[in-house]
Amino acid sequence: MTATEPTRSPIPNPLPAHVRREQAQRLVDERGFVRVSELRSAFNISGVTARADLDALELQGSVRRVHGGAVPAHSLGEGESFRAEREHSFEEALEASIVPKQQIAQIAAGLVRSGQSVILDVGTTTHAVARALVARDDLHDVVIITNGLSIALELEQAIPRFTVIVTGGSLRPLQHSLVEPLAGLMLGQVHADLVFIGCNGVDIAGGVTNINLPEAGIKALMLTAAERVVVVADRSKLGQVHLGRVGPLSDFHTLITDAAADPAILDSLREVGLRVLLPVELAVELTVELTETTPQTPDRP
């Protein structure tokens, strides 16, 4: 090593530049605006590398650099528009699709039995599931593990009927969620009876996906930490594909969605082996059937 060589190691960069830039491009297109700081966190790169990636995409004509990040470089003609998708905050999402989330939550809560352990993913639909679980006065001795601070606070009122465990990890303010580091260590130490996964997309080819990478990574870890995996998604999520892949549909046992979901999409999901539960008059019968076919959990010491 010469005197002019740096003594510090560069920030680890596990992705090749072209792959990283393709994913950054998709992120810009989906959200409508991406910050340099978000790319740094998502890809574990330096700010200099993140800016260089955006500069390279701008040279290709794929994005337009703005202060702090980049936006899509769409050239819009008269009457044309593009869908600039972004990650909504927890509070924004909480106000949307209230009735569908309540429908989904009622079915999801009906799948839980006393004495079981449940992993409850972050999100507004899973927040509705938490509220529905609290309302079930017949439930007791339920252990619930979550990476959502808002969900933990919702469940607090059910203590001591419920034991509430928070994963730990770095806080994402937008969703009040806990992600890596540390969250994965906790999930690697448990095996629950059920996990309820929220998402931004459910698609036959794309599987279950999420709009941001840090939470998608935690959701993927949750899949391996539970006996039965249930995805909860309202009709707007069906047929959608986003940046962060949680897992293929083969990793999921059941989809719970709302009554207005497209029947054609639901039929195609059933054809690939995904069980679909809907809030119709037969929902109670379906719930009973599912719980009866689920292996009984042995009593804990």
What number of other Cβ atoms are within 10 A of residue 6's Cβ? 7
Phi-psi region of 32 (alpha: psi -120 to 50; beta: other; left: phi over 0): left
Query: Residue 216: what residue type?
Result: A
With a CB cutoff of 8 Å and minimum separation 6, the contacts of 67 are none
Tokens matching residue 253: 């046992």
Are 198 and 125 contacting, i.e. CB atoms less than 8 angstroms apart?
yes
Supply the pLDDT for residue 3: 46
Are 241 and 206 contacting, i.e. CB atoms less than 8 angstroms apart?
yes
Tokens matching residue 71: 């936006």
More confident residue, 212 or 290: 212
Supply the pLDDT for residue 226: 97
What is the C-alpha R_g of the chain? 21
User: Across the chain, what does the average pLDDT equal?
Assistant: 83
Cα-to-chain-centroid distance, residue 92: 16
Q: Which whole number is the average pLDDT over 216-234?
A: 96
Supply the pLDDT for residue 4: 47
pLDDT exceeds cutoff 80 at 120: yes
Supply the pLDDT for residue 91: 53
More confident residue, 62 or 155: 155
More confident residue, 110 or 293: 110
Supply the pLDDT for residue 144: 98
Q: Which of 29-38, 40-49, 177-186 has the lowest mean pLDDT?
A: 29-38
Q: What would the pLDDT profile of 199-224 be if each residue is shown by its tens digit?
A: 999 999 999 999 888 899 999 999 99
pLDDT exceeds cutoff 70 at 84: no
Looking at 32-168, list the stretches that DSSP marks H as alpha helix, in order from N- to C-terminal side. 36-43, 47-59, 90-94, 98-110, 124-135, 149-155
pLDDT exceeds cutoff 70 at 252: yes
Segment holding 34, helix H or strand E: strand 34-35
pTM for this prediction: 0.65
Q: Which whole number is the average pLDDT over 245-266?
A: 95
Are 129 and 118 contacting, i.e. CB atoms less than 8 angstroms apart?
no
Is residue 14 very low, low, confident or very high in pLDDT (cuts 50, 70, 90)?
low
Length of the chain: 301
8-state DSSP, 249:
G
Question: Helices (H) and strands (E) in the chain — how many of each?
Answer: 11, 15
CA 46, CA 165: separation in Å to the nearest integer? Answer: 34
What number of other Cβ atoms are within 10 A of residue 269's Cβ? 22
Q: Which whole number is the average pLDDT over 6-10?
A: 44
CA 149, CA 63: separation in Å to the nearest integer? Answer: 35
More confident residue, 96 or 26: 26
Q: Which whole number is the average pLDDT over 43-71?
A: 84
More confident residue, 76 or 50: 50
- Sheet containing strand 142-146, strands side by side: 162-166, 142-146, 117-120, 192-198, 226-232, 254-256, 275-277
* 3-class state of residue 16 by DSSP: coil
Q: Angle at which helices 98-110 and 124-135 pack, to 10 degrees?
A: 50
pLDDT exceeds cutoff 90 at 264: yes
